[in-house]
A = this chain, B = another copy of it.
Amino acid sequence: MPKGAQTRRAIVDDAVQVASKVGLNGLTIGQLATHTGMSKSGLFAHFQSKEALQVGVLERTREWFVADVMAPALAAPRGEPRLQVLYERWRNWVDHAFDGGCVLVAAASELDDTPGMVRDSLVRMEFDLHESIATVAAGAVREGHFRADLDVEQLAFELRGIMLAHHHAARLLRDAGAGERADQAFAALLSRARSA
């Protein structure tokens, strides 16, 4: 990786962690300068605008999610085992990836009323994730693990709900049992997907 790209990546990695604590809107080039020890002008050479930095943070978070969650899931056997790995990796990732809360969860509330390139970038990745989950579930139908009339879009919606409830309980409420609650909800979701 060329030096410039390495530096840019190191800045974005820092920015992801800052954003996980203060949100995408709370992230400023000035604050990031303090955090990285770089000059503001040095940072501006890599990101010409706050929006470009925010999109960089979202894209880096997505790359990380793909590497830590989606790739291991796709390496697992098709069908229910793949969905199981996706769930376990996702929950584990959310628990350990960030200094603060999940950047994507916070960004969903920050950006929902803010049209523009940052919102568009987040919406695109959320649709991709939704589609990936539905595709994995459809694979489980084809493998005969899940019932033939399963609404895979509904499953993707409900899995999202489990992950959001887990994030809410673990992060805001500091509920030590949040992971166990999420696991139970996911087990029930699988059970309903299997039974006729």
Contact = CB atoms under 8 A, between A and B. Distances in A.
A157 B173 contact: no
Nearest to A98: B113
A120 to B, nearest CB: 11
A76 interface: no
A67 interface: no
B105 A101 contact: no
A42 B112 CA distance: 31
A172 B123 contact: yes
A121 B121 CA distance: 33
A122 B164 CA distance: 17
Interface residues of A, number: 43
Interface stretch (A20-28, A47-55, A84-92, A139-147): A20-28
A169 B154 CA distance: 12
**Main secondary structure on A side of the interface with B:** helix
- Point out which of A20, A109, A173, A192 has the most chain B C-beta atoms below 10 A from its C-beta: A109
Contacts of A168: 108, 126, 160, 164
Contacts of A192: 188, 192
Contacts of A127: 173
B113 A154 contact: no
B160 A165 contact: yes
A161 interface: yes
A110 interface: yes
Return the 8 tightest CB-CB contacts between A and B, nearest first. Answer: A161-B165, A161-B161, A164-B164, A106-B109, A100-B113, A112-B171, A157-B181, A108-B172
Given A112-B172, A158-B188, A161-B162, 16 more contacts: A25-B25, A25-B26, A106-B110, A108-B168, A108-B171, A108-B172, A111-B172, A123-B173, A130-B173, A157-B169, A160-B168, A161-B164, A161-B165, A161-B166, A164-B165, A188-B192
